[in-house]
Chains A and B, each alone.
Chain A
């Protein structure tokens, strides 16, 4: 971000020592460490920092590039290309297809999320405890881990001065209905309410992994290899001994090969790529790639007579949790005109007439705690492909959630409401809400998107119905763990960032316990690398 004269503004720069970018490497390379962490999102960076702080030699391997806060802009096409996987065009196949977005950069999806930090609801933890028989995940057992996660994430609520008119109006609408709103706890440090969260925070206020746990891990001596695409986990018998893949250039195309060896490999590449990587590495488990959950989101837009200026004010300040136990969460969030236009109906003059009212629009959404089941499989190009089937209960919950959200918007004063149903695109009064109730249930006619996926390598007591044990270690394999939302036993119904961090902290200590005599194991791992391929200590910023 530059000022009007092109000079960099004076935000304190964060040092990133021990970083090597794949595009700068001009040969095949081999690395050795105590621990390799694949992915630098909420789970990966937290695990890396925790293990590095314990004194282990950690190598973080990240497919995306290191984009510093100073490089963030407010231009969606530019930032979608830089920070998002597939430039934000990923899809979960099914009826309907669900548009999916995740980060692909150092810091992972924490760089592009809204920063909402909610503890896993107690009723979800109770379910994990009772139905899935996962030990030490009861609300009481998890409390210290949530507290630790909130310290790391620097969780606080937005100052009221940063609330936008649209946020206040949404909260007022809920209050008139007698539905309490909750102010979002968010990971931020003196947020000034710019609302550029989804494109990377140029003020540096959002405490994403890019500005918290990644630099902390590096300060504790961890190394970061960015622009490095892991393609396979290496095994010796049933023990994981490292990873192999390709470095990528600035154009995202593969260049040189790399291999990294360590007695412990932690996968934190997200609920799509973590199981994909395990499948490509020929790991077999009946539950691998199954149980994918997607938190389907349905957008509901209110059209108001008075201006709401939705581009002014913090990203998302309130949520309605009143129907959380019914699987429904509601919120409103401001989005830039270009992003809103993507999903606004109409073409040419019709589209223009709708978008002309941009400053009078309130974009709300309902997030559903899904019960349907999705899968991750390998496609013909050996990349993981997701599919998801809404259950009939999900379809009902989405319709109810949309109706409740529309009710909030009408209560807030909306003149009309745009719905996510192709066969009922708009309603004009609260009396027409009944049309949603009687609407023919056609899943293919619902427009859905999501930014949360989970459950595709879930925790279980034994290997029969899960992939990892309650500590995140993969059943039947030594030296391999998972530390992202893949390991959730079920959908959680709220933003998953804090749950991922809390579980990563909880599991880091357990994983570390498997690393006895780390120096000796590191030497053992290094000795398995042919001498000619070893990176000399002075060869790069990473090798040591």
Chain B
């Protein structure tokens, strides 16, 4: 995934939503423990692509909910803050987001949804997987070839070794 590829440009979120989503990522992205890769732009694109495959109700509701998160600090921050979420310092953003996450109801569900998608995309980024020592993609390539070889061997062995349940 590269940020410059037009096919990977955000498809659902406008500039305002993108700013809010970036603030969410800044607040909650994994930090330390070897997870400081500069992948935020890629994660943003991945989240946007994923959000665009949500059902229509959520495609409409998610950007609206993000506006509520952005303009909510005067109402929901503890203590109240007369600014927007994306302008809060990072530690306050984290505390504010955490408050939403534990608020339950629609606010809790929205925060949980954003957290879920951000972490899903973040931890599947190739650089993050590499830092965990996980090479799922490389293993998949090897095993697809291994199975192709197994099937080729079976085909050479003749029809007697064919699979069950196939009436072709």
Contacts and interface: CB of A to CB of B under 8 A. Distances in A.
Contact of B165 (A78, A81, A153): A153
Contacts of B57: 381
A9 B139 contact: no
A6 to B, nearest CB: 11
Contacts of B167: 53, 216
A339 interface: yes
A343 to B, nearest CB: 8
A336 B144 contact: no
A205 B115 CA distance: 34
A75 interface: yes
Nearest to A312: B139
Contacts of A338: 119-124
Contact of B143 (A192, A212, A347): A192
Nearest to A204: B147
Interface residues of A, number: 60
Given A12-B151, A202-B144, A203-B144, A356 B33 contact: yes
A82 B154 CA distance: 32
Contacts of A193: 143
* Chain B interface, DSSP helix/strand/loop, else mixed: helix
B33 to A, nearest CB: 4
A529 interface: no
Interface residues of B, number: 59
Interface stretch (B15-23, B73-81, B127-135): B127-135
Contacts of A337: 123-124, 128-129, 132, 134
B94 A190 contact: no
B136 A152 contact: no
B147 A74 contact: no
A203 B144 CA distance: 5
Contacts of A190: 147, 150-151, 154
Contacts of B166: 212, 216
A342 B30 contact: no
Contacts of A67: none
A194 B139 contact: yes
B32 interface: yes
Interface in B124-168: 124, 128-129, 132-134, 136-137, 139-141, 143-148, 150-152, 154, 163-168
B27 interface: yes
B147 A11 contact: yes
A205 B149 CA distance: 12
25 contacts: A9-B144, A10-B145, A10-B148, A74-B136, A76-B120, A76-B124, A77-B50, A77-B120, A82-B53, A89-B55, A151-B165, A153-B165, A192-B147, A204-B147, A212-B165, A219-B168, A311-B136, A338-B119, A338-B121, A338-B122, A339-B120, A341-B123, A348-B27, A352-B32, A355-B33
Given A3-B141, A86-B58, 17 more contacts: A3-B145, A11-B148, A74-B137, A76-B124, A77-B47, A78-B49, A87-B50, A153-B165, A202-B144, A212-B166, A336-B134, A338-B120, A341-B123, A344-B119, A348-B27, A356-B33, A359-B132
